[in-house]
Amino acid sequence: MTPETWKKLQTAIDEALSLDADARADFVARAGAEDAEIGRALENMLAAHAASDEVLREPIAAGARRLDEKDVDPWIGKQLGAFNITRRIASGGMGAVFLAARADRQFEQRVAIKIMGAQMLSRDAIARFRTERQILANLSHRYIAGLIDGGTTDEGLPYLVMEYVVGVPIDRYCDDKRLSIRRRLRLFQKVCEAVDYAHRNLIVHRDLKPNNILVDEAGNPKLLDFGIAKLLDQQTAMHTMAVTREGTRAMTPEYASPEQVRGEPVSVASDVYSLGTLLYKILSGRMPFAAAGAMPDSLARAIIEQEPSRPSDALTRPAEWKSGSSSDSEVSALRSTSTPKLRGTLSGDLDNIVLAALRKDPERRYPSAIAFSEDIENFLAHRPVNARSDSLFYRGAKFVRRNAAVLGVATVVLILGMLSVAQIIAQRDRAELAANQAHQVSNFLTKLFENASPFASKGEIVSAVDLLEEGTREIEQLSDQPELQAELYRVMGESFSMLGNYGEAIPALERSRALHENNGNADTLDYADTLQQLGEAQRLAGDLDEAETNTRRSLAIRQKILGTPDSLVAFTIGRLGNIYYQKRDRETARDTLERALTMKRELGEEDDAEFADILGNLGITLDSLGEYDQAETVIEAAIELSLAHEGEMHPNTIVRISNLGLVYMRQGRLEEAVRQFERCLVASRKVWPANHPSVARNVRNLASAQKQLGNFSESITLYREAVEMARAHSGERSVPYVRSLRGLGGTLMDLGQYEEAERTFQIALAIILGLNGEDDYDAALLRILLGQSLIDQRRFAEAEPLLRAGLRQQDKLGNSTRLAARRELAMSLSGQGKSSEADTVFAEIVTEMEKLVGPDNASLAEFLLQAAGHARRSGDIDEALALAGRALTIAREKMPPGNWVAAGIMAEYGRCLLAADRESEARRYLAAAHRDMLATFGESDPRVRELGELSLQ
């Protein structure tokens, strides 16, 4: 045997002795396949080693040897502590592991018992076993198999009683379940959580590999085998510690870090390296240094000296580089995708994340397992990852791509610059632009930001809109670079849309679309991006038919290129669901949004911001369908995800919290609704620019809730503010302005200022008819409200045609709004003396409303109130008393004390009692109603004066 061969054999012996029995056998077989001479020598030396300490171990060897007697296993049936051993699970270098069950049968419990073997009874091995017991005793985590008990057998062998994990190694689980890359990353994040917990408890595992991470059927990992783990010095917990003894490397070579291979001190960074190797294998199906072969010295040299290739490149390596027998297509199929798509997914950020964990220098790896996991979360949430250069260009591109909602002015200006550069560079690289083109790009950015400089602005404020408009002019100078122009127009359009300036956004995006089409790029993902963003801007501007057309075209392209299921496809389907919701086609909206959620679930993507977005939109759709309890549950789940992934100040979170407030209003939980809206308004004023539609919407929501609570002064102030905000932002001929007028008119009507309310509704109706024509949702609502204001003025005959015209659009109205409109129609009929027809309508709507909201909802009380008034005027006093009494019961249970709506119900009940000649009772209710109405509206209100007179009669 040559000196070189002998050196290889010595290294191989060291590595083999660090493995358990099964892994050792595999290692020896691979070594023999590569070099037959070393294989034979390795087998002989291992056999000699197994017999070398027999004399030292003889006092307790008789009992220990029984661990290896497979035919007649004396441990089966033996009781250790509270547990009876039932069968052997495995045998390895540390001894044997058995399945056991509780002997006392107080409750069902299965455990794994690990008994130390005779070959491990050296002083160091026993110390290591005791260390493992101490380590496990200190760990309690949902993803770590815990220690239950421990002790010594009658034969003197130490044992551990551990949580029994039914599962398979993590790499096999991922392949067996054909998990997508996204689902594999989510599972890996759970492993990082467990490893980080161990690190925070001053423990480094040192042997992280698939066989030590089992995954159960529920998809949860369990970290096993802390047998070679080490306790960190508390003062240097995040730094280094010495190995156990010189020359002993407790590790699995394929997953070991360079410092472990060299026998140097290890740290939490060593576990981070092993996690990086594990992620490399999980994602690509390959090992980073498979080309080095199984021989320990060549593998060690590769780990220490060679840089691993990118995981995305592992799929195109020569066959001799690939560990295992799986082909590229097989590896891709196990990840539920194709090889080109898999390479595309791994390329870029994921490559960088994995390679950052595999850096040779421990100081340059992720500082902790949780930092590793957080960077994966950055990737999943489309945020910039930390594993690449911290360039302004890269971060800007990532930031804007992940934000679907509006940002503040200063932020948008910064984003614009960053994103423009990123997009320009990407386009320039793809087209290999000449030097003069790069110079034009530089000029574009220089001119764009020169105008914002205080030297150029000379004290004038340069807004984001000014900057964007200047940028648009600069784009025209790049007419010889149509692809670049198309991308820049898309960026400009998206930025205008973020500012709520849809009049500028839509033309910019349409220009981008035309440039793509004119240059033969109408079947690319870039073109689909432009179409989707154009559709979104059109949706926000209210042009729903065009929005649907462009979103559908985007969806078709993305489905054709990406296939299904796919995250981007699911997101686009969700956007289409939003359009159906705004078109008042709520059943289709619900079906479409549920389809998007189903696709996300198929991908295992139930814990990300996009899932929260679709879930939140499903919630408001359910709300519009009158399914309030389910809507509440769904929106609360969306908020929880939104808070976790986007934070409390993210626009999406604010919108979802506001939507929950709307559900509370439908349920009559007015004080809770006010708290939600106040919270949203404070946040929205910080997030959006002044007068932005999203701020105005929160102002209107709070105003509506305050009105229903009877806080009319606050409500009027807020509605007038919303009107002025809409006027300043969108002008008087706009939907936001109309909706703000509508809310203001409703409050004036409730205050009894019927004529002013009527004029307000007429102005709003004239504007919306000019904008959208007769067949419009907002026009229908305004006709209904105008009809109600006429009923309050006892102009019943004038109200009827308006109400019927509004109800012609009832397929666009939400269920509760439709029923409220029919209630007003019944009031109009009752006031005209059309009692029989009014009877029918009241009976129908009370029944429908009860089915919709339940028998004790505050919203139902108002329907019962109006029906009671009609019955009283028609002479059916018993029915009137029954209806009013039921409404009063609901009001007492569901409305705040002193509420003006509850006071109105008390007043009607008093009138019914008067009609029934129960005057003393009537006076009591009328007096209470008068007190509460007086406190709300003041003594000059005609309703208050009328009640005062009735209560004194």
For residues 944 and 720, the answer to whether their CB atoms sit within 8 Å is no
Give the relative orientation of helices 502-518 and 482-498 as an angle to the nearest 10 degrees: 160
Q: Which two tokens stand for residue 500?
A: 């709520």
User: How far is 883 from 881, CA to CA, in rounded Å?
Assistant: 6
The answer to whether residues 202 and 232 touch, using CB atoms and an 8 Å cutoff, is: yes
Q: Which of 104, 88, 120 is nearest to 20 (CA)?
A: 120
941 is catalytic: no
CB 13 within 8 Å of CB 253 = no
Contact between 877 and 916 under an 8 Å Cβ cutoff? The reply is yes
Give the C-alpha separation, 198 to 194, whole Å: 6
Quote the crossing angle between the two packed helices 567-582 and 544-562, to the nearest 10°.
Answer: 160
The first and second tokens of residue 108, run together, are 């069902």
- Strand ranges in 24-167 using DSSP code E only, listed in sequence order: 79-80, 83-92, 95-102, 110-116, 147-152, 158-163
Q: Is-contact 280 208, C-beta < 8 A?
A: no
Torsion of CA 192, 175, 110, 222, to 10 degrees: 0
Q: How large is the C-alpha radius of gyration of the chain?
A: 36
Q: Kindly give the residue spans of alpha helices, DSSP state H, lying in 285-360.
A: 296-305, 311-314, 328-333, 339-346, 349-357
Q: How many CB atoms lie within 10 A of CB 22?
A: 13
Concatenating the DSSP letter of every residue in 335-354 gives TTS-HHHHHHHHTTHHHHHH
What tokens were used for 157?
């062998």
Tell me if 883 sits within 8 A of 869, measured CB to CB: no
Would you state the structure tokens that stand for residue 634, as one six-digit string?
A: 């769904």
What is the spatial distance between Cα 215 and Cα 766, in angstroms, rounded to a whole number? Answer: 64
Query: What residues are paired with 149 via a beta bridge?
Result: 161
The single residue of 35, 207, 375, 585 carrying the catalytic annotation is: 207
Identity (one letter) of the amino acid at 618?
L
164, 150 contact by CB (below 8 A): no
Q: Which helix (H) or strand (E) holds 204?
A: strand 203-204
Burial of 851-862, coded b for 16+ CB within 10 Å and e otherwise, reads: ebbeeebbbbbb
**Residue 724: which residues within 8 A CB-CB, separation 6 or more?**
none
Residue with tokens 């503010």: 721
Residue 585: CB atoms within 10 A of its CB come to: 18
CA–CA dist 199, 289 (Å, integer):
27
What are the start-end ranges of the H helices in 359-434?
Answer: 369-380, 392-402, 409-431
CA dist., res. 716 & res. 704, Å (int): 9
As a whole number of Å, the end-to-end CA separation of the chain is 122
Structure tokens at 938: 């003041």
- CA-CA distance, 68 to 812, in Å (whole number)? 76
The whole-angstrom separation of Cα 921 and Cα 30 is: 97
Q: How many CB atoms lie within 10 A of CB 15?
A: 24
Closest listed residue to residue 848, CA positions, set 870, 890, 817, 891: 817
Nearest to 275 by CA among 188, 154, 204, 380: 188
> Which residues does the annotation mark as catalytic?
207
